[in-house]
Amino acid sequence: MKQEIISANGAYSRLDVWFRKKKCIMLVCGKSIEKQNIFAYIQQLPDRFGIRIVRFSDFEPNPRYESVVNGVRIFRRESCEAIVAIGGGSAMDVAKCIKLYSTLQGDGKNGEWLTQVVVPNHIPFLAMPTTAGTGSEATRFSVIYYENKKQSVTDDSCLPETVLMDSNVLRTLPDYQKKSTMMDALCHAIESYWSVNSTKESRAYSKDAIQTIMKQMNAYLANTDEGNAAMLMAAHYAGKAINITQTTAGHAMCYKITSMFGCAHGHATALCNKVLYPWMVENVDRCTDPRGIAYLKNILNEIADALGCRDARSGGEKLAKTVDALGFEVPIASTEQYEELKSSVNPVRLKNHPILLDEETIDKLYHMILR
């Protein structure tokens, strides 16, 4: 599906066409949306176009299935006909699931929608990311939790058909969040590039994202409009890349670091990939990609090229230098924590990785990643 991208910088008149003929929309957003310019625009819609806005913010980070069930109940009760999602990963995840589940049978009790086959629907869906990182607005994946277990809900029809890129929202993001979300996007692009599932199309998205992130990093961190707008698009392209390939070992290994040490997702995944990349360069002989060792070597060189380096070895050094310059703290792990970490990695994600990683290797890598 081709998504329509609407770029804005605090001015939203181009959205009028999308809203004008709708009677009732559900707005899925976090609790801090009042600070955003887009909120003032949305608040005027009832007067301007006679639209009813049903706001849904009753969900937490790492949203639960029950929150989605509640959202669907309200969506149906209020006869909403479209969904607008504004936020980071959690708001997107909830909105995607509300869209997918709202046309299924039953009321969703006892996890029933998790086992039903999703029937694609055409409920209009507009998404506006509030960080340049997850790329969730470009992917068919969403994650929710049922009985404390992670559930991946995946379907093409949960992709928003319209995306609003508002660089204005990045201006007020705290520095650490700006840095970590940017690194999440960079790691999506890099992992997708070397994924065994990569295609010509996905690699083109990855390359574009890596080059833009490296070129615009300083402008984005200095909070210029140009830097912010470019980083939003880079994160979107990195999202398009992982929509095709999914992520690999860097992401598989970062989740436990995030929950164990409380660091941001992008911070943790940056720490993992800055070690993984140079390690892979030295261990290409363990390649599992059916396209072969020579292919993988070439890919690792292409990633380096996108990072602005002449070969994979200097590419690895540049990535490490880039991460170090951001000042991310490296957590200290105890012997018990290392034990827990090495068995925490999702084997499905490892299957996407082009180099064989057994438990012993994963343990060794964690000892290189952490202190």
Binding site for Fe ion (CB under 5 A): 184
DSSP assignment of 105-152, as one string? SS--GGGHHHHSPP------EEEEESSSS--GGG-SEEEEEETTEEEE
The distance of closest approach from Cβ of residue 25 to Fe ion in the complex, given in angstroms and rounded to an integer, is 28
When the beta carbons of 155 and 184 are compared against Fe ion, the nearer one is: 184
| 102 vs 273 by CB, closer to Fe ion | 273
Do 161 and 124 meet the contact criterion of CB atoms below 8 Å apart? yes
Which C-beta is closer to Fe ion: that of 143 or that of 230? 143
Q: Indicate the residue among 12 and 255 with the shorter CB distance to Fe ion.
A: 255
C-beta closer to Fe ion: residue 101 or 205: 205
Question: Which residue type, as a one-letter code, is found at position 298?
Answer: N
Minimum Å gap between C-beta 217 and Fe ion is: 18
What span, in angstroms and rounded, lies between the C-alpha atoms of 137 and 149? 23
Closer to Fe ion by CB, 25 or 369: give it: 369
The pair phi, psi for residue 245, each rounded to 5°, is -105, -20
Which C-beta is closer to Fe ion: that of 184 or that of 289? Answer: 184
Task: State the minimum distance, in angstroms, from the CB of residue 188 to Fe ion.
Answer: 6
Tell me the closest approach of the beta carbon of residue 133 to Fe ion, in angstroms. Answer: 7
What whole-number distance in Å separates Cα of residue 128 and Cα of residue 122? 18
List phi, psi (to 5°) of 83: -125, 135
Which of 25, 12, 23, 20 shows the shortest CA–CA distance to 55? Answer: 25
Q: Say how far apart CA 322 and CA 183 lie, in whole Å.
A: 10
Residue closest to Fe ion, measured at CB: 184
85 three-class SS = strand
CB environment 1-16: b (16+ within 10 A), e (fewer): eebeebebeeebeebe
**CA 154 to CA 346: how far, in whole Å?**
17
Q: How far is the CB of 184 from Fe ion (least distance, A)?
A: 4
- Shortest spacing between CB 112 and Fe ion, in angstroms: 29
The least CB distance from residue 120 to Fe ion, in Å, is 25
